[in-house]
Amino acid sequence: MLEADLLVLDDIGAEKKSEWVEETLGLVVNTRYSERRVTVFTTNLTDSENTEPHSIALQLGLRIRSRLKEMCDWVRIDGPDTREVGPHPTEGDIARWQDSSPASPKNRGRAALPVKTTGQARAQLKPRDGKADLKWPGGRAGSQ
């Protein structure tokens, strides 16, 4: 990560906040900044007041925020989540997403907690040829 010509760190701040995470991210950011290596960061955090729960300053720390402000060109991108509306949404799909999704800018901060389920949740992988099919294009568990 420190020496890659191009590094993309997707959704920084989504990980559980800890001293280790802050130190590790700080090392990566500072090293890449010092060596002038191209780095792309994405986040769903906002650059707002330090007390805002979803702020870069609160989630990543003031030192990392300061370094990112110095080294990055910031580009704000708003739009519907394709996982919720699909890859080719219609205007109606987007309007429904804006009205109902907690991820919509219109509804941020009003998200309710998920409904508590009853019973026990279970996940099971069915092995094929000694390997578990994870049903995703990245491969199967245990594959080389």
**Contact yes or no for 32/4 (Cβ under 8 A):** no
Residue-level length of the chain: 144
Tokens of 28: 């990566």
83-106 pLDDT, tens digit per residue, is 888 889 999 998 998 898 887 777
Type of residue numbered 121: A
- Class of the domain covering 6-71: alpha beta
pLDDT at site 78: 78
Mean pLDDT of 97-121: 62
Q: Above 70 in pLDDT, residue 34? A: yes
